[in-house]
Chains A and B, each alone.
Chain A
């Protein structure tokens, strides 16, 4: 599971007011190279919750992202920054671990890189 995915997911359990962002419990992180596409990064940037991404990347062991979101103009000019953004968003994988609902603590397991977001009958 990459951090782009993590940035989109929340715990939608009945009764939970705010299930985003999910806390990450790391068991196994793997780095996998992905070809960089600057257009994609610029297009997706406005949809990203920066704090969630920045915090999550630290938990995964990557400390290069600034805590404050950059100005959009940085994306146009700063290739080095794009590299870091790309690395955090797409090249860090949680292979094994779990995502935890911030309110209820309920665990959504991540196995073989795939998060299981299915809710149980009483969470619906």
Chain B
């Protein structure tokens, strides 16, 4: 059945991928456990309201059941609400026509005398005064509401939504045209989630702790759920695992920096206390390990349901890997740590370039896991992209070898550029340097931005 989905007008690229990921999690595409070699075929059908631009918050989506719609709405960060549409139109006369012709068997069950209801008025692109809102509500006398009104906790919540073309975005044409919708609420978002988990009040933070909203989006892309095991190879303060744990997944994390995972800032301010703060189950384990030389036993594979992480890009924080810089470059010959110093020796680490990090990550994923891209604007000059990859076939020696070869080719072409710290400087250098790298500069075609990006 077709439903009206209203998104929050922000993080536009993330909306549909999150929605589709949750749709899959809640069974919209059939049996969850079936191994689908073509995940791209699992896509929902979407339609836009008349004269609306794809960036509009209003979309029609086809879902197999109301229960799935409600589950998606409740868990999503970006869906404001999902509604069964009773009517729409360009003006109130058209709306009335539409609602009157909507089948009775879809309406009457929700208008019964034993039920309670309320009507909420919402507008996008214009402001409606309280008086105007009340007038609109009174205008619905043609709908045979038999139940009592309950403004606090009604059985059924009906929404009147007006959209209009007053919103301007960077001088671009408006995202919506005038359209009026009336529908029955099927599910709404739990926006209490973000205030509860926001970093402002987080017990233990690090410089690259993941923003709560994005962490939840990542957990939704990863379909974190009870019974699943989720791994973060760059766990840091655990900000990403916290969101996965909130949705019931078992979590595991590793970091090369032992001070972050083991010590934190003290006995009450560390990764564990972050989980305690929210009453979440602790991670199954945290370990100090190098993602470049992971400590997994050979033959171990397909253990994690998801790997969710924010790898060190070398921009705000650089990655490290085992093996001193001088050692790896051959400036210093291989050396042995004297026996009496071995216990407390802190191994030197070398710069862990982004491509090597990504290669190791992909190898980890290919091996250990039983794909949407969305862009987050981080500043006016650069942004980062959330990549979701879905594993489609098993890990074999051939796959590993092919990947290694491709990686070495890529390394030859890009090594010099990345090693010279150019990623960091191209992000932070003064704004004249737009020439040169297509890697960093964004498209010149203007894009619509959500209000709070």
A interface with B by C-beta (< 8 Å) = 1-2, 4-5, 8-12, 19-21, 32, 34-35, 37, 39-40, 43-44, 47, 49, 90, 107, 109, 111-122, 124
On chain B, the residues within 8 Å of A35 by CB distance are 281
B65: CB under 8 A from chain A?
no
17 contacts between A and B (CB under 8 A): A4-B285, A9-B287, A11-B295, A32-B282, A49-B297, A107-B343, A114-B258, A116-B258, A117-B290, A119-B293, A119-B322, A120-B347, A121-B324, A121-B334, A122-B334, A122-B335, A124-B323
By beta carbon, the residue of chain A nearest B342 is A120
Quick check: A117 and B295 within 8 Å, CB to CB? Answer: yes
B78 to chain A, nearest CB (A): 28
A113 to chain B, nearest CB (A): 8
Q: Which segment, of B1-9, B17-25, B126-134, B223-231, faces chain A?
A: B223-231
Q: B310-353: contact bitstring with A at CB < 8 Å (1 yes, 0 no)?
A: 00000000000011100100000011110000110101100000
How many Å lie between the Cα of A117 and that of B250 in the bound state?
A: 21
Quick check: A47 and B302 within 8 Å, CB to CB? Answer: yes
Residue from the list B226, B263, B293, B295 in contact with A9, Cβ < 8 A: B295
How many Å lie between the Cα of A41 and that of B371 in the bound state?
A: 27
On chain A, the residues within 8 Å of B347 by CB distance are 118-121
Quick check: A116 and B297 within 8 Å, CB to CB? Answer: no
Quick check: A40 and B227 within 8 Å, CB to CB? Answer: yes
Residue from the list B287, B336, B348 in contact with A114, Cβ < 8 A: B287
Q: A20-B297, A122-B334 are in contact. List 6 more A-B contacts (CB 8 A).
A: A35-B281, A47-B303, A114-B288, A117-B288, A119-B293, A122-B335
Could you say which of B226, B228, B297, B334 has the most chain A C-beta atoms within 10 Å of its C-beta? B297
Q: Which 10 A-B pairs have the closest CB atoms?
A: A10-B297, A39-B227, A117-B295, A20-B297, A5-B285, A117-B289, A114-B262, A40-B227, A116-B288, A122-B336
Residue from the list B282, B290, B296, B300 in contact with A119, Cβ < 8 A: B290
Given A117-B289, A122-B334, verify A111-B262 contact (CB < 8 Å): yes
On chain A, the residues within 8 Å of B262 by CB distance are 111-112, 114
How many Å lie between the Cα of A47 and that of B228 in the bound state?
A: 14
How many Å lie between the Cα of A11 and that of B246 in the bound state?
A: 33
By beta carbon, the residue of chain B nearest A35 is B281
On chain A, the residues within 8 Å of B284 by CB distance are 2, 4-5, 90
A106 to chain B, nearest CB (A): 9
How many Å lie between the Cα of A11 and that of B294 in the bound state?
A: 10
Residue from the list A34, A109, A117 in contact with B281, Cβ < 8 A: A34
On chain A, the residues within 8 Å of B302 by CB distance are 47
By beta carbon, the residue of chain A nearest B289 is A117
Chain B at the A interface: SS class? loop
How many Å lie between the Cα of A111 and that of B287 in the bound state?
A: 10
How many Å lie between the Cα of A90 and that of B228 in the bound state?
A: 14
On chain A, the residues within 8 Å of B327 by CB distance are 121
Q: B220-263: contact bitstring with A at CB < 8 Å (1 yes, 0 no)?
A: 00000011110000000000000000000010100010100111
Residue from the list A2, A19, A32, A118 in contact with B297, Cβ < 8 A: A19
On chain B, the residues within 8 Å of A124 by CB distance are 293, 322-323
On chain B, the residues within 8 Å of A112 by CB distance are 262-263
By beta carbon, the residue of chain B nearest A18 is B298
On chain B, the residues within 8 Å of A1 by CB distance are 285, 287
How many Å lie between the Cα of A9 and that of B289 in the bound state?
A: 10
A90 to chain B, nearest CB (A): 7
On chain A, the residues within 8 Å of B322 by CB distance are 118-119, 121, 124
How many Å lie between the Cα of A39 and that of B226 in the bound state?
A: 9
Given A8-B303, A10-B297, A111-B262, verify A118-B256 contact (CB < 8 Å): yes
Quick check: A40 and B250 within 8 Å, CB to CB? Answer: yes
Quick check: B252 and A5 within 8 Å, CB to CB? Answer: yes
B275 to chain A, nearest CB (A): 12
On chain B, the residues within 8 Å of A43 by CB distance are 227
By beta carbon, the residue of chain B nearest A1 is B285
Quick check: B227 and A8 within 8 Å, CB to CB? Answer: no
Quick check: A47 and B285 within 8 Å, CB to CB? Answer: no
How many Å lie between the Cα of A1 and that of B287 in the bound state?
A: 8
Residue from the list B296, B303, B334, B336 in contact with A10, Cβ < 8 A: B296
How many Å lie between the Cα of A122 and that of B302 in the bound state?
A: 30
On chain B, the residues within 8 Å of A122 by CB distance are 334-337
By beta carbon, the residue of chain A nearest B321 is A124
How many Å lie between the Cα of A43 and that of B285 in the bound state?
A: 18
By beta carbon, the residue of chain B nearest A49 is B297
On chain B, the residues within 8 Å of A90 by CB distance are 284
On chain A, the residues within 8 Å of B226 by CB distance are 37, 39-40
Could you say which of A1, A9, A44 has the most chain B C-beta atoms within 10 Å of its C-beta? A9
By beta carbon, the residue of chain A nearest B305 is A43
How many Å lie between the Cα of A124 and that of B136 in the bound state?
A: 73
On chain A, the residues within 8 Å of B300 by CB distance are 8, 47
A33 to chain B, nearest CB (A): 10
Residue from the list A40, A107, A120 in contact with B229, Cβ < 8 A: A40
Given A37-B226, A40-B227, A112-B262, verify A118-B250 contact (CB < 8 Å): no
On chain B, the residues within 8 Å of A2 by CB distance are 284-285
B33 to chain A, nearest CB (A): 10
Quick check: A120 and B345 within 8 Å, CB to CB? Answer: yes
